Amino acid sequence: MSNSKLKLIFITMGLSKVLTSLLEANINIIGVIESKTKNSANRTTSLKDFCSGEDIPYYYMENGCDQDLENWVKELAPDLIVINSMSELLKKNIMDIPKKGCINLHPTYLPNYRGGYPLFWTFYDMDLNPGVTVHYIDEGEDTGDIIYQERYPIPLGCTEEELIEILETTNGVNLLLSAITDIEHDCAPRKKQPKESPTVRARKISPSEFHQIVDWETWEIERIWHLLRGTQNWLDVFDFSNIEETVLQWRILHFEKENIDQSVELGKVFSINNQYVVYCKQGKIYLDLITESNY
């Protein structure tokens, strides 16, 4: 258990196990800022309600790093600001307030996948040895000095929930606790990052790009399956025109390698013997569909 006396403000999007784990470790969280969600329609009151129940001051970051937020943070006078998931960059007027600075828990091995959507690109590149980094915040996008980072292997076909559990909840929290303790005692390491990242910027993929994401013709089936498993909560890459009912949701099951008839339409979902499959060049991937009739 941590004995940190640092006064800490935590910035995040929604209620997460990272926040609850810090509280369980007796980290002195004196305020929580909820960053505006990337999709405002998905916002819930769960974090606000949680903070109310824990008697923790709460602030919804409706208008970015404006004067109201600056005043709120100054009034709490934190020693350290900790970020885990934020929809915009923290501005200098907020960064300059805590005397111990600001740090971020980023679910990649920086400088890989700087940006707001690192998990997608981890799946896209089939990176099976990803990592997590705790780093200081500067005015760049995930470019601040590294405090701690580690790599953790993941299995092929890992889901988004499993990846978050491995990188953030299980291992990232431990790195974060070590960083907080070392920052309190002024002994935290600092390693400068390279200016350039070896990977693409972890940008958001727009819906107009969804159907061009998967290369059904040339990608190995393992890569397609891994990407589909990791993004099955949202990435609509399929052609459902052969399915009579409206498809509301899908789950990616297993895959089978086999020689495919060249006349079969790749990327299109078919119903065969009461099973749903999508074909790629090396075989077929099985799906479980939720339609209007069975919702």
Range of the domain at 85: 8-184
Of 97, 121, 101, 98, whose CA–CA distance to 109 is shortest? 121
Residues 280 and 238 both lie in one domain: yes
Mean pLDDT confidence for 119-147: 98
Residue 190 maps to a domain: no
Residue 13 maps to a domain: yes
DSSP E strand stretches across the chain = 8-12, 29-35, 58-61, 80-84, 102-106, 131-136, 146-151, 247-257, 269-272, 275-280, 283-291
Whichever domain contains 138, its CATH number is: 3.40.50.170
Is the confidence at residue 2, as pLDDT, over 80?
no
β-strand 283-291 against 247-257: which pairing, if any?
Answer: antiparallel
Could you give the 3-state DSSP secondary structure of residue 251? strand
pTM of the model: 0.93
Residues 68 and 21 both lie in one domain: yes
Whole-angstrom Cα distance, residue 66 to residue 91? 9
Q: What is the pLDDT of residues 177-210, one digit of tens each?
A: 999 999 999 999 999 999 999 999 999 999 999 9
What pLDDT, on a 0 to 100 scale, did the predictor assign at position 264? 93
Residues 172 and 264 both lie in one domain: no
Residues 75 and 216 both lie in one domain: no
Residues 31 and 160 both lie in one domain: yes
> Taking a C-beta distance cutoff of 8 angstroms, is the pair 133, 110 a contact?
yes
Residues 180 and 211 both lie in one domain: no
Q: What is the pLDDT of residues 24-70, one digit of tens each?
A: 999 999 999 999 876 655 667 899 999 999 999 999 999 999 999 99
Q: How many domains does the chain have?
A: 2
Q: What is the pLDDT of residues 218-271, one digit of tens each?
A: 999 999 999 999 999 999 999 999 998 899 999 999 999 999 988 999 999 999
What pLDDT, on a 0 to 100 scale, did the predictor assign at position 134? 98
Is the confidence at residue 90, as pLDDT, over 70?
yes
